[in-house]
Structure 1
């Protein structure tokens, strides 16, 4: 195994979803066997030849690999991914689609290309005496990302996303990923921070992701709440307070509306 501050290579999914890789994006290529896991509240399966990209490890739970499961994983810090991402707005659409489903089914040619990309990053990572090592690693990770864009666009199609729309959506999602939804769940609040109207923010969100802005606010919120509800050391009142609900009763109604069960029923 080789690793550096910005890139870590592993041959298992141990630690995915834990604080150990909290600031890393995981890129996992399944080489053999399979693995079931819960992601974003839904069951997913990673099979031989599949590529899985996880931006937010906390969305991953209950990893159950088969006995013959083999995988190669490249973890890259968020900051290094930003440095390595090509000048294309396609990444925004890909980011949103992977939030909903992190697994891409690759055909034989794509699998071979992906294996070569992984091997290139690993080989370059081993070149510790290279005089331009950081630039070398940025270039190798960028090649990886460009091929990911190509794989994804062939699955979901290519949309020309205007620079302004991509910037607004990126800033909106960054606020949500930073946990702003715990205190603010109104589209108006986010629109004000982004200096646009609520209608425009929702139109941009719908055009890029297929969902209105309110969907993403509630999605991030309920995923966080459901994670906390599984921690039985936290009372419902405590969780309600963490999200600034006006009362435990309102918190209970929110959970019922978005999870289909009450907090008590969800906790079991």
Structure 2
């Protein structure tokens, strides 16, 4: 159960620790450590204060990956570090090995992650952070947009021994700040700790894939495009022209920006989001093929079947064998 102090404020943030941090955990996995109240007026924060009128668990620390695919965690970004052993997971139709000395970031659509196997000695630290708190903590850099697309394709980042130590220190710093309940500026300290973690994740990723200069205009356009896909617009609109027109640019320009930032044209992301959503729904045996076809506005069931075979490589019925 979450504990809440009586304080006259509109902004409440709950923090959770895994059972290894306390003997007072009745549920076995997590418990709410404390309630934090934001009462400070920093300009960047003020834009978000009134959107947090209800109690929200903004930061959750766990020692398993069991919750990464839970719908209840769809608004959280998962940051994980593997201390030992390994985990085999599937995401976006691909299989990944998350092993000792690697970090992993599930930035979008955690519900599409499936844990296939974990070794007996698998040990992991996990920090879940809401999108809202990430926005408060993310530094003013356009690299995050480029990085998130690369992470969508491969969420696992192998670390050097030095980077492993940096990652572990960042995780411990977030935990330490959460435990400092008497700190009068704990909110600022926590934002700083999460920001340091994000900056180092930027560095880990950039060391592998390099950096490109991305203009703020291009970043904002791509954010708006992906936001439309995140809202499920692809279920009824799968042409580049629709998205370009909605964003007041030409289809060619949208594709060029997408290619520069993500490495893939806009059509790839429209098809990718559509195919992943269809594959998820096909695994739900309570939904008929006709119902799924209708959700996406296909003109006929045969048209839907051809689309699935073309983009997923199998027939719809193969998902239910």
TM-score, length basis structure 1: 0.97
Separation (CA, whole Å) in 2 of partners of 1:18 and 1:62: 12
Which residue matches 1:117? 170
Aligned counterparts of 1:128 and 1:251: Cα–Cα separation in 2: 55
* Aligned counterparts of 2:125 and 2:116: Cα–Cα separation in 1: 15
Tell me which of the two structures has the higher relative contact order, counting C-alpha pairs closer than 8 angstroms and 6 or more residues apart.
Answer: 1
Deviates most, 55-64 or 78-87: 55-64
Residue 210 of structure 1 aligns with which residue?
Answer: 263
Bigger Rg, structure 1 or 2: 2
Match of 1:223 among 276, 279, 302: 276
CA distance in 2, matches of 1:38, 1:201: 30
1:234 and 2:282 aligned:
no
Distance across 2 between alignment mates of 1:265 and 1:10:
35
What is aligned with 2:50? Answer: none
202, 219, 223: which one aligns with 1:166 = 219
**Cα distance in 2 for residues equivalent to 1:157 and 1:226:** 32
Q: Which moved more, 1:3-12 or 1:217-226?
A: 3-12
* 1:53 and 2:114 aligned: no
Shift, 1:267, TM fit? 2.8
Q: Distance in 1 between matches of 2:110 and 2:271?
A: 19
- Which runs of structure 2 are paired with 1:17-32 in the superposition (5 Å)? 17-32=69-84
Query: What does residue range 185-200 of structure 1 map to in structure 2 within 5 Å?
Result: 185-200=238-253
Verify: 1:67 aligned to 2:120, yes or no.
yes
What's the secondary structure of 2:103's corresponding residue? strand
Runs (5+) with no aligned partner, structure 1: none
Secondary structure at the residue paired with 1:6? Answer: strand
Unpaired segments ≥5 residues, structure 2: 1-15, 18-31, 36-56
Shift of 1:41: 1.3
Q: Which residue does 1:134 correspond to in 2? A: 187
The separation in 1 between residues aligned to 2:72 and 2:81, in whole angstroms, is 20
Larger helix share, 1 or 2 = 1
Which residue does 1:156 correspond to in 2?
209
Deviation at 1:161, TM superposition (A): 0.7
How far, CA to CA, are the matches of 2:227 and 2:190 in structure 1?
A: 25
Matched, 1:261 2:288: no
Q: What is the aligned partner in structure 1 of residue 95 from structure 2?
A: 43
Instruction: Tell me how far apart the structure 2 counterparts of residues 131 and 115 of structure 1 sit (CA, whole Å).
Output: 25
Q: Do the aligned residues in 1 keep the contact of 2:91 with 2:113 (CA within 8 Å)?
A: yes
What's the CA shift for 1:82? 1.0
Paired residue secondary structure (2:152)? helix
Post-superposition shift, 1:130?
2.1
Kept in 1, the 8 Å contact 2:87–2:115? The answer is: no
Q: Please state if 1:9 is matched with 2:65.
A: no
Work out whether 1:89 is the aligned partner of 2:131. no
Aligned counterparts of 2:282 and 2:293: Cα–Cα separation in 1: 10
- TM-score of the aligned structures, taking structure 2 as reference length: 0.81
